[in-house]
Amino acid sequence: MTLDPGQFVLLMPEIFVLTMACVILVVDLFLSKKERVISYWLTQITVVIAAVLTIAVSNGETELLFFGTFIADPMAAALKVFIYIVVGLAFLYSRHYLALRGLFKGEFYVLGLFAMLGTMVLVSAHSLLTVYLGLELLSLSLYALVAFNRDTYSCSEAAMKYFVLGALSSGMLLYGMSILYGLTGTLDIDLMGQILAQQETHVGLVFAVSFIVVGVSFKLGAVPFHMWLPDVYQGAPTPVTLYISSASKIAAFAMVMRLLVESVGSLQPQWEGMLIVLAVLSLAIGNVVAIAQTNLKRMLAYSTISHIGFLLLGVLSGTQAGYAAAMFYVITYALMAAGAFGMIILLSRAGFEADEISDFKGLNQRNSWFALMMLILMFSMAGVPPTVGFYAKLSVLQAVINVDMVWLAAVAVFFAVIGAFYYIRLVKVMYFDDAEDKEPLEPHFDLRFGLTANGLAVLLLGLFPGSLMALCHQVMS
Amino acid sequence: MPFEKIVFYLFAAILVYAATRVITVRNPVHAALHLVLAFFTSAGLWILLEAEFLAITLVLVYVGAVMVLFLFVVMMLDINTAPIREGFIKYLPVGLTVAGLMILEMYLVVQSKYFDAERMPAPVPKGADYSNTRELGGVLYTDYVYPFEIAAVILLVAIIAAIALTMRKRPETRFQNPAEQVKVQRNSRVRLVKMEAEPKD
């Protein structure tokens, strides 16, 4: 019953983020409106130092800490670093957006940091208890962030929907977890995996797993548990939408790995079927319904659903290569989503959200460089070759074909081709339509820098995907 | 009859009485006070079961905080007692169905072979030096220290979120300035006025 102080070293990133979130909370009280930017910079520094700490303490080994509730392994370290990157981008893009709307408050960044802490806990969870607590920490912060612009009707509506459905899905997940706990007598993920591997599969186990699958797909937004996604994406402030579609999707992927693969991995034949249904429905509904959207945020929400379908394809193949492909997919998708929502922020002004597709008309005439960035991002989401989206889709399809599910790969390609239509339509609007608003676009330096880096990263990762792919394979083996 | 049993029946009788009164008295304040009594006696029962931590938290949290809050609300709202009773017949079938279901569930659990007396023997009473508060604390701060801390962070986030979403600074909002309050002198609060004595009529 003693606590080894050496354990705290590996927990340093979490401890640091928590401490800084509390420090910023207090410091922010003493800042005047003009000095508020200090909170913003403190937050960004926290994210950077957390990344440095995570890289410094990760030693490539798998270590269990705090009586098996926390795991420090290469997958956790890698996912955390990518979460820092997209969270840093989200904060970077959010600054001027919030300032223009009178929302530039310390609480936004504090809640953002707490949500990031939630993703970190989730990524390193090694007990059903920590999975659940990390998820709740993340979701609770996100509910508040979605409602952050509390005087707008759409924000409150989105937050309410997100909260009610989120609570419902947490309940589903907990129900599944409690049955699993009852059947195995342990909350520890590894131990549960070992016990289940020796047990015969029976109805009780499948019952528990189906609840877990439902809970997880609610969080991911897979069809038929996707209803909250379009409304929340559209209603939330754009930086928060960015956060939900990037950082929290990486965390949700980690949750899938910890819950489905590591703890109930021996039931793979059972959950494979469930995931096939979810994946095919997500691909179909996501891509087809996105065509009918005129609101860009809503369209991107449906595009998220279709990307989740691809992510599930990688997971359901049940091989190391499949998991690595899914991880590659979720990381690159988070980068693309960050860029796409960043572009919406770039075009928006006070009182104008720029979230309609028609708002992008003639972007090329107004600012050809950022039209090019958006072109790269859209091509990447559609999966056009030199960009990373193509490579991500390719590796997932490869994993699916390797386990002899060619028909599934064919379905995925079919819907991806349908999906290409609405991405390319946006490109057409940007390049071939006349701008209604001829004013040239002169964004702030940090937005300019962030989006350029973001767009070029998507292109460069597409040209040289080798190192990221190697990393994904390495952490999954 | 051993003393323990007498105490149990005494507490149980008071508990049943108090619980019945909660739903039968007309005055909501009386009902709330009977609920307090019910909580107290069930805390006593828990002490008998050697679950003193639960007993203490029941009194502290429910009696100390929740019920006081509840009483505040009841006293502030002027609840009319008469209409509350009107729905008795209307809701009786629903109530009976729920009660019947609960009894059935209890019967199934107690009857099932997994919970009979052989599989679930009565636990051996612990010695006088055994404290389950201490044991719970021991587990909470070692085995579960990490989840415990995260739960604390979740509560912090709930507070921050609630304040961030509801607090509005309006010009007419009144607030206290503790520094001013501390510095206050007697002179600024009380003024002694010398008055001529009134002549008696």
For residues A287 and A355, which has the higher predicted lDDT (pLDDT)? A287
| pLDDT (tens digit per residue) in A129-183 | 999 999 999 999 999 999 998 888 889 999 999 999 999 999 999 999 999 998 8
pTM: 0.88
* Cα distance between residue A289 and residue A199, in whole Å: 43
List the one residue out of A135, A156, A138 whose CA is nearest residue A146.
A156
Taking a C-beta distance cutoff of 8 angstroms, is the pair A443, A376 a contact? no
Distances (CA, A) of A209 to A260, A315, A363, A440, B178: 8, 15, 48, 54, 56
Q: How far is B104 from chain A (nearest CA, A)?
A: 22
Give which of B150, B166, B175 to mutate to test A binding, by max A Cβ within 10 Å: B150
Residues in chain A: 477
Distances A239 to A25, A144, A162, A452 between C-alpha atoms, Å: 20, 13, 16, 17
Which residue type does A70 have?
A: F
Render pLDDT for A261-274 as a digit per residue (tens, 0 to 9).
988 888 888 899 99
Q: Which of B147, B156, B158 sits opposite A133 (nearest CB)?
A: B147
Judged by CB atoms closer than 8 Å, whether chains meet at B144 and A69 is answered as yes
CA distances from B181 to A152, B174, B186 (A): 38, 14, 11
Stretch among A132-141, A168-177, B56-65, B192-201 having the lowest mean pLDDT: B192-201
Q: What is the mean pLDDT of residues A59-88?
A: 91
A333 to chain B, closest Cα gap in Å: 28
Interfacial B residues in 111-170 facing A (CB < 8 Å): 138, 142-147, 150-151, 153-154, 156-158, 160-161, 163-165
Residue A143 has which token pair? 């509910």
* Residue B86 reports pLDDT greater than 70: no
**Minimal-distance CA residue of chain A relative to B142:** A1
Q: What is the CA radius of gyration of chain B?
A: 27
Tens of pLDDT along A200-212?
Answer: 888 889 999 999 9
Q: A363 pLDDT band (50/70/90 cuts)?
A: confident
ipTM score assigned to the predicted complex: 0.91
- Nearest CB to B160; choose among A3, A25, A65: A25
pLDDT in tens, A396-435: 999 999 998 999 999 999 999 999 999 999 999 999 988 8
Residue A341 distance to chain B (closest CA, Å): 24
Please tell me which of the candidates A22, A70, A107 has its beta carbon nearest to residue B146: A70
Looking at residue A202, what is its pLDDT?
84
Q: Which helix (H) or strand (E) is A63 found in, with range?
A: strand A63-65
